[in-house]
């Protein structure tokens, strides 16, 4: 009985291990397809048709089109992308064959083609994900000079590979059309919507209203859904195909939903006592719940109509505007002892329900905009995806591509650095391979391409792992050849297994394991049809060593800092500009309360600068995700820092909008002291963010988050004592807006603990 059950147990353990190391089974899917198609094409062309040239190009074409790319989107768009890749392969094979005979021409062409292919990745995620496959299409012919008469066989082999790849992605384990984060994100939205409706029902009171215990149960369910989303996010691997606009929006959505969950937890009714009633706040909560339901629907069906989300969002905006307009009628305006805690808390607390509802509304609208952007990106046509046209952009796709490319033709662009370094490294490798006349010079370029990174330190580390993996694979390959002896037929049975391991090992095990598996695959390929010869092992080691040396030297000489440094710089700029924007918005608010009319021109300009810095950060973050190899900073921490910009800018937007919507203000009350309190708070909070920006990417201690300051709250209410009511005994609009301004500043302060923790991890990496 033990013998019978041990095999299923081992199988379950193997599947469990695979899911732990390849959570989405993306690498397993690509490796499985390639293991079926590549050996079949190699056998068809080499053994049936009898053309070794066709066999080589069919095998490596299948390897490239099935293992090195994994296009996203609906099946029709994936097939179009593969058809475009096939056409590009045909063009590059023709060019590589034409220039291969002349060394200087081959080197020059490699530099030009390498730069164009690598730099084109800045335009769109489609081109970024296909860059290695496109380079392989040129490397293969340019390092193998042959008479021009053999070009048709090369094209025929690549054409067979393209046709087989299109059939494989359609029929063999098609990739899911939805992002793995969509379903857990939708569950968070629905749980949060249910909590909002339950809380609103409780705040309304009346028969049948839920108890505070029921509200807490709903809050716990929402928190559990958010924790599940974070777990799924942490398990999501890095991959170049996750760079699309929609994917990046979903990456940011994780922190936005986490932020919403924390606001919900803070605003949940207390377990003891009777919650205050605020009709307008109830309407806002219900409207926010309706928006979150529509968000969940759009996450489940991203290609569906967004009309329901747009209508719900507009209803939420109207509810928030009505709440803001009516809030002043409910502010307690008792005069005596406003500076004492017993009087401070009623004033702040009376507006707390409306402010919390307003904060929930802002967070919900931000989430809705993000998901709307993601869904709009999924609805784009193939040409718009290829050229990187942003959803809703007024420019034509080609013009958008030119603008994006032109924006990175500047010295500090990491895309420009990577493209020049990669092109020069490959060009040097072509020249060196031709000068040294090594056999199979193609593998010199593969060695260069496989370890060249945008960070010189990582390049060196990857070179060591590449050589180590190659040595291990060589030993394994030599052992296999010795065991097989002259029974070369056995190599056909080993080839699919070797291809499968070469595809899955880099993602599920390590880069070195991938190199070892790839080496074994090459040993098998070069010995099929011949007497097994272990000398190919020595040639492979020689070639990969030359390629590694080229990549390390080029990486050390040209721009030795990578995408992480670019993200640090972009984060620093974005936090600096956003902190300036927040301080400027508060300055406008204080000026708006004075006797002279205040201009919003400066604050609006600072908002535009902060938005531009956020866009530059998004491009740098995309580069960070595109950079292959181990990430020095965990994705969760880097995403927290990136998403923190959203919260900071949202607080500034809220303050600026709050005072731009204000009507005519009376100039009688003297609000100088209240203004100083707000300016002091804004200075401290913006100063903390400037210090955070200055320390990013450096081994410096991050400042502790600022604590809540009840004394400043008391001072603010005391300073507004004369301005809390008008001659009719009603609270003034100005007092409410100033207290809400302090609340928005406190919302920016509450972001600091998570950012400090993420920045501490980032600084220790």
pLDDT digits (tens, 9 = 90+) for 366-394: 899 888 888 887 777 666 666 666 665 54
Within a domain: 376? no
Q: Whole domain around residue 93: which residue ranges?
A: 21-177
Of 529, 561, 593, which closes a domain? Answer: 561
- Helix orientation angle between 563-592 and 414-436, rounded to the nearest 10 degrees: 170
Residue 13 maps to a domain? no
- Is 169 in contact with 93 (CB distance < 8 Å)? no
Same domain for 530 and 624: no
Report the Cα–Cα distance between both ends of the chain, in Å, rounded.
Answer: 51
Structural domain includes residue 157: yes
Please identify, among 149, 177, 205, the residue that sits at the C-terminal boundary of a domain.
177
Question: Are 207 and 281 found together in one domain?
Answer: yes
For residues 505 and 31, give the distance between their C-alpha atoms in angstroms, rounded to a whole number.
9
Of residues 722, 691, 727, the one with CA closest to residue 706: 691
Question: Do the domain assignments include residue 261?
Answer: yes
- The verdict on residue 14 lying in a domain is no
CB 216 within 8 A of CB 271: yes
Q: Which residue has the higher pLDDT, 667 or 475?
A: 475
Same domain, 598 and 624: yes
Task: For 130-177, list the strands marked E by DSSP.
Answer: none
Residue 629 Ramachandran class (φ > 0 left, ψ -120 to 50 alpha, else beta): left
Residues 131, 267 within the same domain? no
Q: Spell 502-517 as b/e; 16+ CB within 10 A means b.
A: bbbbbbbbebbbbbbb
The 10 Å Cβ neighbour count of residue 756 is 16
Of the residues 152, 177, 202, which one is the last residue of a structural domain?
Answer: 177
The arithmetic mean of pLDDT across residues 5-9, rounded, is 57
* 79, 155: one domain: yes
Q: Retrieve residue 145's tokens.
A: 């000079």
Q: How far apart are CA 611 and CA 588, in angstroms?
A: 18
* 86 and 165 fall within a common domain: yes
Q: Count of domains in the chain? A: 4
654-682: b (≥16 Cβ within 10 Å) or e: bbbebbeeeeebeeebebeebbebbeebb
In a domain, 601, yes or no: yes
Residue 690 lies in a domain: yes
CA angle 238, 559, 441 (to 5 degrees): 75
Return the higher-pLDDT residue of 29 and 129: 29
CA 662 to CA 664: how far, in whole Å?
7
**Do 576 and 525 share a domain, yes or no?**
no
Give the number of other CB atoms < 10 A from CB of residue 265: 15
Report the C-alpha dihedral over residues 441, 445, 447, 449, rounded to 10 degrees: -170
Q: How confident is the model at residue 338 (pLDDT cuts 50, 70, 90)?
A: very low
Q: Which residue has the higher pLDDT, 678 or 621?
A: 678
156 and 194 share one domain: no
Flag whether 381 is in a domain. Answer: no
143 burial via Cβ count (<10 Å: 0-12, 13-18, 19+): buried
Taking the C-alpha atoms of residue 177 and residue 75, their distance in angstroms, rounded to an integer, is 8
Q: How far, in Å, CA of 58 to CA of 73, rounded? A: 26
- CATH number of the domain residue 627 falls in: 1.20.58
pLDDT in tens, 35-48: 999 999 999 998 89
Whether residue 548 sits in one domain with residue 632: no
Classified as helix, coil or strand, 646 is helix
Confidence at residue 345, expressed as pLDDT on a 0 to 100 scale: 43
Does one domain contain both 599 and 639? yes
Q: Is the pLDDT of residue 462 over 80?
A: no
Question: Residue 158: what pLDDT?
Answer: 94
Q: Both 533 and 582 in a single domain?
A: no
Q: Are residues 580 and 649 in the same domain?
A: yes
């Amino acid at each position: 009985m033990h013998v019978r059950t041990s095999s299923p147990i081992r199988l379950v353990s193997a599947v469990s291990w695979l899911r732990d190391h390849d959570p989405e089974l993306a690498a397993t899917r690509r490796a499985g397809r390639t293991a079926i198609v590549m050996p079949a094409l190699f056998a068809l062309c080499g053994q049936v048709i009898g053309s070794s040239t066709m066999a080589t190009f069919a095998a490596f074409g299948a390897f490239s089109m099935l293992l090195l790319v994994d296009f996203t989107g609906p099946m029709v768009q994936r097939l179009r992308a593969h058809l475009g890749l096939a056409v590009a392969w045909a063009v590059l094979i023709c060019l590589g064959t034409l220039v291969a005979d002349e060394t200087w021409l081959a080197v020059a062409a490699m530099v030009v083609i390498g730069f164009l292919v690598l730099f084109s990745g800045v335009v769109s995620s489609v081109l970024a994900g296909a860059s290695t496959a496109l380079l392989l299409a040129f490397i293969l012919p340019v390092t193998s000079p042959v008479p021009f008469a053999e070009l048709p066989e090369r094209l025929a082999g690549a054409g067979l590979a393209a046709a087989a790849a299109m059939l494989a992605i359609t029929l063999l384990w098609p990739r899911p059309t939805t992002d793995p984060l969509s379903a857990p994100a939708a569950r968070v939205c629905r749980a949060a919507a249910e909590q909002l409706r339950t809380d609103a029902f409780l705040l309304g009171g009346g028969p049948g209203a839920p108890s505070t215990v029921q509200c807490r149960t709903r809050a716990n369910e929402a928190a559990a859904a958010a924790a599940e989303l974070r777990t799924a996010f942490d398990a999501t691997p890095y991959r170049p195909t996750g760079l699309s606009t929609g994917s990046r929006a979903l990456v940011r959505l994780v922190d936005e939903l986490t932020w919403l969950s924390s606001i919900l937890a803070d605003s949940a009714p207390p377990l003891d006592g009777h919650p205050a009633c605020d009709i307008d706040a109830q309407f806002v909560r219900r409207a926010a719940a309706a928006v979150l339901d529509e968000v969940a629907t759009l996450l489940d069906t991203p290609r569906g109509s967004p009309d329901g989300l747009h209508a719900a969002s507009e209803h939420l905006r109207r509810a928030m505007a009505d709440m803001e307009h009516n809030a002043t009628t409910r502010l307690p305006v008792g005069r005596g002892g406003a500076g004492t805690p017993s009087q401070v808390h009623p004033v702040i607390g009376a507006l707390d329900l409306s402010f919390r509802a307003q904060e929930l509304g802002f967070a919900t609208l931000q989430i809705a905009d993000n998901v709307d952007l993601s869904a709009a990106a999924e609805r784009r046509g193939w040409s718009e995806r290829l050229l990187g046209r942003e959803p809703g952009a007024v420019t034509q796709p080609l013009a958008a591509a030119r603008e994006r490319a032109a924006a990175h033709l500047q010295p500090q662009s990491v895309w420009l650095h990577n493209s020049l370094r990669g092109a020069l490294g490959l060009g040097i490798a072509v020249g060196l391979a031709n000068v040294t006349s090594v056999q199979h010079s193609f593998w010199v370029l593969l060695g260069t391409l496989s370890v060249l990174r945008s960070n010189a330190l990582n390049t060196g580390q990857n070179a060591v792992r590449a050589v180590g993996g190659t040595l291990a694979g060589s030993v394994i390959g030599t052992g296999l050849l010795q065991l097989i002896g002259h029974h070369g037929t056995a190599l056909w049975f080993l080839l699919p297994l070797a291809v499968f391991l070469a595809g899955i090992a880099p993602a599920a095990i390590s880069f070195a394991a991938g190199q070892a598996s790839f080496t074994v695959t090459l040993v098998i390929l070069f010995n099929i049809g011949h007497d097994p010869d272990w000398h190919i092992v020595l040639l492979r080691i020689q070639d990969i060593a030359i390629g590694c040396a080229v990549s390390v030297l080029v990486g050390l000489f040209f721009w030795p800092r990578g995408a992480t440094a670019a993200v640090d710089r972009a984060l620093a700029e974005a936090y600096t500009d956003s902190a300036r924007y927040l301080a400027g918005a508060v300055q406008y608010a204080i000026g708006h309360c004075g006797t002279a009319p205040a201009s919003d021109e400066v604050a609006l300009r600072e908002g535009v600068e902060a938005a531009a810095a956020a866009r530059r950060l998004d491009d740098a973050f995309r580069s960070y995700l595109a950079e292959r190899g181990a990430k020095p900073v965990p994705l969760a921490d880097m995403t927290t820092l990136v998403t923190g910009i959203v919260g900071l800018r949202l607080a500034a937007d809220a303050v600026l909008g709050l005072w731009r919507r204000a009507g005519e203000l009376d100039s009688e009350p003297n609000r100088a002291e209240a203004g100083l309190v707000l300016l002091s708070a804004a200075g401290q909070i913006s100063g903390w963010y400037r210090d955070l920006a200055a320390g990013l990417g450096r081994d410096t201690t991050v400042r502790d988050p600022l604590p809540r300051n009840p004394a400043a709250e008391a001072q603010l209410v005391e300073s507004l004592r004369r301005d809390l009511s008008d001659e009719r005994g009603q609270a003034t609009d100005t007092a409410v807006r100033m207290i809400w301004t302090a609340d928005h500043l406190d919302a920016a302060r509450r972001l600091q603990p998570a950012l400090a923790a993420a920045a501490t991890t980032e600084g220790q990496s």
